[in-house]
Structure 1
Amino acid sequence: MWLNLVGDVKSLTKDISDQIMAENKPPEKQVYMSLPRPGVQPVETGYLTSPQKHGTTSKPPKPTKLDQEEQAKLAKSGLDMKLMASEVDQETEKWEERITQDEDNDIVKRAKNMSSMAFSMYQFTRGEGALKTTQDLFTQGEYFAEEANRLYKVVRQFSYQVPAGPHKKELMEHLDQIPTYVQQLQFTVKNPTVGKAATFTKVDNVIQETKNLMNVISKVVTTCFVCATKVVNHLSKLGLETKPPEELEVEFWGCRF
Structure 2
Amino acid sequence: SIRDVADRAIQMYTGDPLMKYDSLQYKPEEAPTSGRYNTIPIPVPAPVIRIEDTKAAANKVLWGPQVESFNSPRMHAAFSHYEVLRAPHPLGPWTVIDSVYPGDPEYFADGEYTVVDPFSNLGDNAAYAVVSVDQLGGRSGMSNLTVHETQAPPVEKLGKVYVIPNPLLVTSGLSGSDPSGEIGDRIQFVGLTSRCTIMIFSYTGQLIRTIEHNRETYGQPWYQLSINNQIIASGVYYFVVEDRETGAKSNGKFVVIH
TM-score surpassing 0.5? no
Larger radius of gyration: 1
The higher-RCO structure (CA 8 Å, 6+ apart) is 1
Structure number having the greater strand percentage: 2
- The TM-score with structure 1 as length reference comes to 0.21
- The TM-score with structure 2 as length reference comes to 0.21
